[in-house]
Amino acid sequence: MIRQIILSFFLFSSVLTDNECPYGYRFYPETAICYHLSEDLYDFDGSVSYCQRKGGRLVSLIQGERNGIAREPKTTNGDCVTFKGVGSSVGLQTSQCYQQQYAFCKIVPNLCNGGVQNGSFGSIQSPQYPQQYYNKLMCLYYIYAPEGFSINIYFPQINTERYYDFVEIYEKNSTLYPDRIVGLSGNISNYEYRSNGSFLLVVFRTNYVITDIGFYAAWNVERIQPPIVSNTTTSGELISPNYPNDYDTFDNQIYYIKVIEEARINVTIDDFLTQETFDFLEIFDSMNQTASKRIERLSGNSVAPWNWLSTSNIVSLKFVSDGSYQYKGWHLMWNMVDRK
């Protein structure tokens, strides 16, 4: 009878399938733990060894705990008990150690899909994405770029329980609050982070209640290249890295052209060859490289000759290449033009 009550409670509460658990165990989302109830009766010592044989550990319960299995027990309160008997249809009460009871076993499953990634690009996602993630997670995603490269990570969409479940970013192997660069929770779109160094740690931390779909993120490495500044003359030339030889993989080179405030900048590209779409030069009519200030995104083999006159006295450029197909790149000339 005890078994019936516990088992029915158990079946009704476990709505998920049990991919998370070994055979014979049921997953209980509220605690994120797998449980198993024996067919036969055992005393306390018998229950302990039964659960060991089933690959798990005996559950022991705190008297009066909500639903019996909402939390882990403390060793106070007569923990040497298989079950604590049945007082009502939802509760479990104390019984003696020698009493024969059904053994109630548990396994804490590893629900995380984190680990170490390296190479030039990759992706990470929360467990089960785009289905609901689990409660009580602490998943670590380590990303290592080669020396001389940084990591750019992009989250198109994050959905977590606001204020309680977090996607966190660190630049060292630490999960301590002072080392945290950012903690993201709630509904967030288009979040991008570029590391200073060659290492990123993403941590996904969830609390014991309420889930959402979590996150997906794509990352790639970028060469650490200091910006090139052209600001001391009235005309000049800029080139892609190594021009006229092939540019590198994973370039991310920023350029600034700056003239006196009363002037504008005449930009001419007389040679241009990059991998169509994937390797490109962006031109901004500002120091700020925001979408609203972007004039053009140039790529392929039919760009040159290209000419443009800025409205601002600062033009900035960004050259980006990916991991495949390098070409000679581009050559650009500029000159200062007085405002009429």
Among 1-9, 68-76, 121-129, 282-290, the segment contacting ligand NAG (CB under 6 A) = 282-290
Measured between alpha carbons, how far is 78 from 105 in angstroms, rounded to an integer? 17
* 132 part of the interface to ligand NAG, by CB under 6 A: no
Measured CA to CA, the distance from residue 226 to residue 288 in angstroms comes to 16
Residue 245 interacts with ligand NAG (CB under 6 A)?
no
Q: Is residue 90 a contact residue for ligand NAG (CB under 6 A)?
A: no
DSSP β-bridge partners for residue 143: 117, 200
> Is 311 among the residues that bind ligand NAG (CB under 6 A)?
no
C-beta closer to ligand NAG: residue 54 or 258: 258
Nearest to 318 by CA among 270, 340, 286: 286
Binding of ligand NAG by 263 (CB under 6 A): no
Q: Closest CB to ligand NAG among 225 and 335?
A: 335
- CA 186/CA 264 separation, integer angstroms: 44
Count of CA atoms in the C-beta half-sphere (13 A) of 263: 16
CB of 73 to ligand NAG, least distance (A): 29
179 to 208: interface string for ligand NAG, x by CB under 6 A: --x-----x--------x------------
Residue count, binding to ligand NAG (CB under 6 A): 25
What's the order of all strands across the beta sheet hosting 294-298? 228-230, 252-258, 314-320, 280-284, 294-298
Contact between 229 and ligand NAG per CB under 6 A = yes
Q: Are 101 and 45 in contact (CB under 8 A)?
A: no
The β-bridge partners of 233 are none
In terms of CB distance, is 168 or 171 closer to ligand NAG?
A: 171
Q: Does 333 bind ligand NAG (CB under 6 A)?
A: yes
288 binds ligand NAG (CB under 6 A): yes
Of the candidate spans 6-14, 62-70, 242-250, 285-293, the one that interacts with ligand NAG by CB under 6 A turns out to be 285-293
The distance of closest approach from Cβ of residue 300 to ligand NAG in the complex, given in angstroms and rounded to an integer, is 21
Residue number, 106 or 258, with CB nearest to ligand NAG: 258
Nearer residue to ligand NAG within complex by CB, 249 or 286: 286
Q: What is the 3-class SS of 100-154, one letter each residue?
A: CEEEEEEECCCCCCCEEECCCEEEEECCCCCCCCCCCCEEEEEEECCCCEEEEEE
Who's near 236: CB < 8 A, 6+ residues apart?
Answer: 230, 257, 333, 334
Contact 140, 114 (CB under 8 A): yes
Which of the residues 106 through 125 are near ligand NAG (CB under 6 A)?
Answer: 116, 118
Residues 139, 114 contacting (CB under 8 angstroms):
yes
* Start-end of H helices in the chain: 2-13, 44-53
Nearer to ligand NAG, 94 or 286 (CB): 286
14 lies in the binding site for ligand NAG (CB under 6 A):
no
- Where do contacts with ligand NAG occur on this chain (CB under 6 A)? 116, 118, 142, 144, 159, 171, 173, 181, 187, 196, 212-213, 229, 231-232, 258, 266, 268, 286-288, 307, 333, 335, 337
